[in-house]
């Protein structure tokens, strides 16, 4: 699978190409992203790390989807879409509905209307169902675990959207964790380390 660094490199090339094709200046994009043109230039050239939050901002400024900014090679586009875009698309749908006033016809809007305590309660319920399904010896538990995992992810996205936390923040945190062992990270946080025999 293409890693984030490769995606960033490819994305930068395509971002500049689209901007120039549409006769947009660095300042045009900078104004739309509420930043300065030198910052956009550094993002395009790779002098500044391009994270998913910036990908989304620049894509919006160019009036396209983040995956449109990747090169035309089908394999790379497919890898990006299969890995990230379904989650981004789901999150965007939840984010757009979570604060909707029409909470009587939308479950997502209903959760937003009820607030964080209701969403948190649902997360706890779904997490418990995931635990039960994980430990069950029932042959049907695999399918049940899949369903419960999807429910848990949905409600996690709901609380992120309710708290206005971009999914890109979570993705970036996960990407940063690739650089450090989980044991080392727990040690830095002062967590108790497992004892190996």
Q: What is the pLDDT of residues 111-149, one digit of tens each?
A: 999 999 999 999 999 999 999 999 987 878 888 999 999
Q: How confident is the model at residue 181 (pLDDT cuts 50, 70, 90)?
A: confident
| Of the candidates 112, 88, 63, the residue with the CA atom closest to the CA atom of residue 170 | 88
The CATH number of the structural domain formed by 95-165 is 1.10.287
* Cα–Cα distances in angstroms (integers) from residue 56 to residues 8, 11, 131, 161, 171, in the given order: 12, 11, 34, 16, 12
Structure confidence at residue 1 (pLDDT): 42
Tokens coding 172? 């970036």
Q: How many CA atoms lie within 13 A of 192 on its CB side?
A: 3
User: How far is Cα 50 from Cα 14, in angstroms, rounded to an integer?
Assistant: 13
Please give the model's pTM, rounded to 2 decimal places. 0.58
Residue with tokens 């790390």: 49
Q: Which residues of 134-152 are buried (b: 16+ CB within 10 A; e: fewer)?
A: eeeeeeeeeebbeebeebb
What is the predicted pLDDT for the residue at 188? Answer: 76
Rg of the chain on CA atoms, in Å:
20
Mean of the per-residue pLDDT values for the chain? 81
CB 44 within 8 A of CB 15: yes
Q: Where in the chain is the domain with CATH 1.10.260.40?
A: 4-73
What fold characterizes domain 4-73? 434 Repressor (Amino-terminal Domain) (1.10.260)
pLDDT at res. 74 = 41
């Amino acid at each position: 699978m293409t890693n984030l660094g490769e995606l960033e490199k490819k994305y930068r090339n395509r971002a500049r190409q689209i901007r120039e094709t549409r006769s947009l200046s660095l300042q045009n994009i900078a104004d739309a992203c509420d930043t300065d043109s030198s910052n956009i230039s550094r993002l395009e050239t790779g002098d500044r790390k391009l994270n998913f939050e910036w990908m989304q901002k620049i894509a919006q400024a160019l009036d396209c989807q983040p995956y449109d900014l990747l090169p035309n090679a089908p394999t790379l586009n497919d890898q990006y879409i299969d890995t990230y875009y379904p989650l981004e698309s789901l999150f965007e749908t939840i984010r757009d509905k979570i604060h909707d006033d029409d909470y009587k016809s939308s479950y997502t809007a209903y959760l937003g209307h009820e607030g964080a305590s209701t969403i948190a309660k649902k997360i706890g319920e779904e997490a418990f169902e995931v635990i039960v399904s994980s430990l069950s010896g029932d042959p049907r538990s695999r399918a049940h675990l899949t369903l419960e995992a999807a429910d848990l992810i949905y409600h996690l996205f709901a609380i992120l959207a309710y708290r206005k936390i971009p999914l890109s923040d979570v993705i970036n945190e996960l990407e940063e964790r690739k650089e450090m062992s989980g044991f080392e990270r727990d040690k830095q946080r002062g967590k108790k380390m497992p004892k190996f025999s």
